């Protein structure tokens, strides 16, 4: 039986408050109304963030998957810092990203295969281990990228928790099929709008920074949910939309096209992250792909997502 331990409500409130700087009163009212009990699972390897409506309402979180999410956040911070750099410098900056993502993805890949009687060779680059991410890999990440990565991670966690709170606030009940998928999209929208409205309501000199952190936090969380599609095609459930669908729809709704810096930075980071995952998943790329991957970064991300949706790994 899975052992769940309580998490301090004040600790979770503190995290959510730090990522909702302009909506402190609304957040307090929301949590006081819903009265969620926060529970931590330290043992499960699976991606675990779940809401269980009831008396009391429960929101469960996994510790191990949270660590993997943090590594994804570091990776996005590194990718962002490489944009616009000369190729040699960009390659140097991006050097640790493959290792970080291989470690983070390896757990999910190994678990999925073992559940079906399969396994990876002992020396396979994506074979999961019981060890933490090697320290020498993190040492290659600059101090600034670690600081930015931690902020993206907190924003990603906040978006996920607000998604679960959205289910409760919107009165969602367990469903299957289209009804369930619509609920997931409504909760995605609830969390995204909450974070961006909070950024807009924060202090004038912090608004742009808070908005960008919120956007990158969403991108980190949604890219994390898309990994399964990259490696395993479509999921075997009918309760949630595919990760790539949620990734594109949420970001396309919230990214400001009129803000060139925001538009390019977020979409280019997303496209780069997708490309790295796809290479690890043995997707082939040739000169035909290059035509679609040297223009608008939103179109590039959309092109890669289209290939993921068709699971077109070989040309």
pLDDT level of residue 112 (50, 70, 90 thresholds)? low
Lowest mean pLDDT of 28-37, 72-81, 280-289, name the range: 280-289
> In this predicted structure, what is the pLDDT of residue 11?
94
Q: Which of 313, 87, 83 is nearest to 216 (CA)?
A: 83
Looking up tokens 């035509």 gives 291
**How many other C-beta atoms are found inside a 10 Å radius of the C-beta of residue 77?**
25
* Phi, psi dihedral angles at 61 (to 5 degrees): -130, 145
Higher pLDDT, 138 or 60: 60
**Full-model pTM:** 0.90
CA 17, 20, 25: angle at the middle one, nearest 5? 70
User: d(Cα 188, Cα 247) in Å, to the nearest integer?
Assistant: 10
Query: Is the Cβ–Cβ distance between 173 and 101 less than 8 Å?
Result: no
Per-residue pLDDT tens over the stretch 234-270: 766 688 889 999 999 999 999 999 999 999 999 999 9
The pLDDT of 65-82, averaged and rounded, is: 92
Domain residue ranges of the chain, discontinuous segments joined by +: 4-310
Query: Is the Cβ–Cβ distance between 37 and 56 less than 8 Å?
Result: yes
Per-residue pLDDT tens over the stretch 176-197: 898 999 999 999 999 999 999 9
Q: Kindly tell me if the per-residue pLDDT of 74 is higher than 70.
A: yes
Helix, strand, or coil (residue 176)? coil
The pLDDT of 41-52, averaged and rounded, is: 87
Mean residue pLDDT across the chain: 87
Q: Kindly tell me if the per-residue pLDDT of 13 is higher than 70.
A: yes
């Amino acid at each position: 039986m899975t052992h769940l331990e309580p998490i301090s409500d004040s600790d979770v409130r503190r995290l959510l408050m730090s990522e909702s700087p302009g909506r402190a009163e609304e957040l307090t009212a929301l949590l006081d109304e819903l009265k969620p009990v926060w529970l931590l699972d330290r043992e499960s390897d699976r991606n675990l963030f779940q809401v269980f409506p009831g008396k009391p309402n429960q929101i469960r979180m996994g510790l191990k998957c949270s660590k993997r999410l943090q590594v994804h956040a570091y990776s996005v911070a590194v990718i962002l810092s490489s944009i616009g750099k000369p190729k040699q410098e960009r390659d140097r900056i991006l050097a640790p990203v493959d290792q970080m993502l291989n470690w983070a993805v390896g757990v999910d890949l190994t678990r999925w295969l073992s559940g079906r009687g399969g396994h990876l060779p002992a020396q396979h680059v994506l074979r999961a281990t019981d060890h933490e991410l090697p320290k020498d890999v993190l040492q290659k990440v600059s101090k600034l990228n670690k600081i930015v990565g931690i902020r993206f991670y907190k924003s990603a966690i906040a978006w996920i928790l607000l998604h679960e709170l959205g289910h409760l606030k919107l009165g969602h009940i367990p469903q299957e099929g289209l009804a369930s998928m619509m609920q997931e999209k409504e909760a995605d929208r609830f969390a995204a709008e909450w974070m961006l409205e909070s950024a807009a309501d924060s202090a004038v000199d912090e608004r742009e920074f808070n908005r960008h952190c919120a956007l990158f936090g969403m991108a980190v969380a949604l890219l994390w949910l898309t990994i399964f599609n990259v490696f395993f095609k479509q999921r075997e459930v009918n309760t949630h939309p595919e990760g790539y669908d949620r990734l594109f729809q949420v970001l396309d709704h919230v990214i400001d096209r009129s803000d060139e810096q925001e538009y390019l930075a977020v979409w280019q980071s997303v496209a780069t992250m997708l490309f790295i995952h796809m290479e690890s998943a043995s997707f082939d790329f040739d000169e035909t792909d290059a035509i679609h991957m040297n223009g608008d970064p939103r179109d590039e991300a959309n092109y890669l997502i289209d290939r993921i949706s068709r699971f077109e790994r070989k040309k």
